[in-house]
Amino acid sequence: MTSDQRVVVIGGGLAGLRLAQRLGPAAAVTVLGEETHVPYNRVLLAEVLAGRYAPEVTALPAPGPVLRRGVRAVRVDRAERAVHCDDGSVSRYDTLVLATGSNAVLPPLRGLFEPEGRDLPDGVHAFRTMDDCMALSAAVRPGVRTVVIGGGLLGVSAARALAARGAQVVLAQQGERLMERQVDADASELLHAHLTSLGVEIHTECRVRGLLTTGSPAAPLPGLRPGPRASNAGGADPSARPAFEDRVRAEPGKRRGGTETPRKVTGVELADGYRLDADVVVLACGVRPRTGLARAAGLEVRTGIVVDDHLRTGDPRVHAIGDCAEHAGQVYGLAGPALEQADALAATLTGRPTPYTGTRALTRLTLPGAKGSLDLAAFGETTPLPGDDVVRLADATRRTYRKVVLRGDRLVGGVLLGELSTVGALARTWEGGEPPHDLFHLLTDDGGH
């Protein structure tokens, strides 16, 4: 690659900007960023919502003139090697990198949209972007009744942040426990207790059927009944869920053209018939890779944009990294893998081919509280298979819990709550795939040193 090689990156998030930084002057790089904000670290949005950080704290290193902000790519012409944008401009490329990220998923709830409508009721928010965060911050005040739909990592983070702002928070989780994908039942119970201590009211195995808005009938809506289409994001067919970008372009509560709509959320209706009053509803029902451009361009898309070990699509001039990419059947949706993919692709594009073989992702979360923070880390397979060995250390007084799963002589996963001094040593052992020499020593506070 030479400095006159044109590299166009669609997406001004963590992955796209990391790639531009790594390429530096080795190529003529253009990054197309849809958001108008200064690039920011999405991982810190919950801290902004909680009031712990100002938005400026989340800023990523300044990318310089390579970034065009507020420009949305609308079409990729692979034959002409050109990207057409919503402002009428065209960016031509020798290499194209799709770093389009992911969108918040809107669950198929009755009352979320009017027939043929595209606007959310006033008071209903996704929690994915800085705009989402600022809109939520403006809506929240002490005592405001808030329902968070979804008890995964995003829902837990949002509930904690809203409680810190003084909101009356109810968290509705369709699954049996919080953060089912990341932690086991014992760790989830500790997490549940911590959130409860913060004032969050938690309902598990709780399916939200629909939203109540101003103008909603007092009686159940005709035809409203339990079923697959009435379930929340935990149980609905992902292919049936509309992506946030595809359904909402106007501000919540506004009709296109700027006229006010009378629709405002007043509550949520559960599948068992109970209703929860709400001034604010937060949709924390997961994310979906943004694959529309790739699909329209004729590239292979499954869950994400399919790439090989060099992060190439079926077109050797087009690559994909970050939340939108699917490698070896895996879509990560985490910051760590996105950065590793950007680094691997930069090395490949600059003549140092570095195959990407996957990322062993570590999930970390800190939940501040009046009695101290609760720190959580999880990696690998936290639920054992038949024949696996499990080692647990728990201390109810100190609110600590540590568990690792062994398959033969290999560490395959673990979860730690309350005290994370050993997580580095455990994660290194897991990532290296080597037998742990002294597992009990690794689980103790000195971290195996």
| Amino acid at position 253, single letter | G
Residue-level pLDDT at 227: 33
Q: Which residue has the higher pLDDT, 247 or 320?
A: 320
CA distances to 170, 321, 390, 395 from 186, rounded to whole Å, are 22, 35, 13, 12
Backbone angles phi, psi at 392, to 5 degrees: -125, 140
Q: What is the pLDDT of residue 228?
A: 31
- pLDDT by residue (tens digit) across 188-211? 999 999 999 999 999 999 999 999
Average pLDDT over residues 256-276: 80
221 pLDDT higher than 50: no
The fraction of the chain above a pLDDT of 70, given in percent, is: 88
Show contacts of 359-366: CB within 8 Å, 24+ apart: 359/332, 359/334, 360/427, 360/430, 360/431, 361/332, 361/334, 361/336, 361/337, 362/336, 362/423, 362/427, 363/153, 363/182, 363/334, 364/420, 364/423, 365/153, 365/156, 365/157
CA angle 9, 15, 16 (to 5 degrees): 20
What CA–CA distances, in Å, run from 46 to 16, 71, 129, 132, 368?
22, 26, 11, 11, 12
Select from 395, 445, 408, 440 the least CA-distant residue to 423.
445
- Cβ atoms of 8 and 91 closer than 8 Å: yes
Edge-first strand order for the sheet with 73-77 is 73-77, 82-85, 90-92
Question: In the structure, what pLDDT confidence band is assigned to residue 262 with cuts at 50, 70 and 90?
Answer: low
Calculate helix-pair angle for 14-23, 335-349, nearest 10 degrees: 30
CA distance 174 to 435: 38
Residues 6+ apart with CB under 8 A from 296: 75, 76
User: Closest Cα partner for 442 from 395, 389, 391?
Assistant: 391
**Whether pLDDT at 219 is above 80:** no
pLDDT on residue 231? 31
Distance CA 264, CA 271 (A): 21
pTM of this prediction? 0.87
Residue pair 148/162 in contact (Cβ under 8 Å)? The answer is: yes
Q: Give the span between the Cα atoms of 33 and 301, in whole angstroms.
A: 22
Across the chain, what does the average pLDDT equal? 88
**pLDDT for the residue 216:** 55
Cα(190)–Cα(179) distance, integer angstroms: 11
Q: Which tokens in the block code for residue 440?
A: 């009990």
Please report, for residues 145, 178, 369, the alpha-carbon distance to residue 197 in angstroms, rounded to integers and kept in the order given.
Answer: 18, 15, 8
**pLDDT at position 230, please?**
30
State the pLDDT at residue 35: 97
Residue among 342, 344, 304, 309 at smallest CA distance from 326: 304
Model confidence pLDDT, tens digit, residues 396-426: 888 899 999 999 999 999 999 998 988 988 9
How many angstroms separate the CA atoms of 218 and 53, rounded? Answer: 41
Angle at 226 between CA 225 and CA 231, to 5 degrees: 125
